[in-house]
Amino acid sequence: MSDTQTTQAGGFTAHGDGRYRGDDGHGGELAGMALYVVRALAQVDQLLGLGEMQALHAGGGRRELSATVGHEGDFGLEVTCTLSSTGVEPAETTTQAVAATLGDELDHVMDQVSGIEMVAGCFVVSASGDLVADKVPGIDRDGLAGTGRRMKVAYDAFDRFLGTTSLVAGYAWVQLVSAPVGNGLAVAIADLGCSAEEIVSAIHVGGGVLSGVDLATFRTGVLAD
């Protein structure tokens, strides 16, 4: 998922009954959070019909996490995670307000991402997980909103532990690829064969001008088709 040189930094398995084995580096707190996040993201299948959740990757931070999701355990979901150290310290950003006219920049990000081959569409949520804008033809906005909230909660949780700058959730038929835009999150719905790195790069590059911008200042009606 990244060109950054990584070194193995441990791993763990979180079981559906709350037990875990291995070393998460946080006395079990990261393991418990990973299980909680996967349970929430697994519900996206009910919202968008993506199939069973199979994998998760939190990348770009000082540590990266790659997880596989099992559905055959005695206590439901089982999450097996590998941790890698990168030595990278993501840059901090400061929040700034911006006029609603700069919504054109957000449209540009979604257009860039949606233009990538095998990407079905892109949508954006605010810092609080509210749906701000979308370019995802044929999908119910309520389903996108519920998915966006879950992705934002998951992203923020991994960012707190790992300094994450991208989050990819893999399902049976498609993947959700996300990265920050302003103080919110852009999420792409893409075929499994699509390069997640290319999508993340498009979000980072296209959304660079919005770094630190409070997306709550945008009006949904201005941005959405």
pLDDT digits (tens, 9 = 90+) for 158-217: 999 999 999 999 999 999 999 999 889 999 999 999 999 999 999 998 877 777 777 877
- Considering the domain 100-223, what is its CATH architecture? 2-Layer Sandwich (3.30)
Q: Are 176 and 207 in contact (CB under 8 A)?
A: no
Beta-bridge partners for 13? 21, 80
Confidence check: pLDDT of 49 > 50 = yes
**CA angle centred on 25, ends 19 and 28, rounded to 5°:** 25
How far apart (Å, rounded) are the C-alpha atoms in residues 170 and 188?
12
Task: Quickly state the pLDDT bin for 124 (edges 50, 70, 90).
Answer: very high
**What does the pLDDT average to over 37-51?**
95
Domain ranges of the chain: 7-85, 100-223
Mean pLDDT of the chain: 86
CATH number attached to the domain at 7-85: 3.30.450.30
**Which tens digits make up the pLDDT trace of 147-161?**
999 999 999 999 999
Sheet strand arrangement including 76-85: 20-23, 7-14, 76-85, 63-73, 53-59, 166-171, 174-181, 184-191, 119-125, 131-135
**Kind of pairing, strands 166-171 and 119-125?**
unpaired
pLDDT the model gives residue 65: 96
Tell which residue, 224, 32, 36, has the closest CA to residue 130: 224
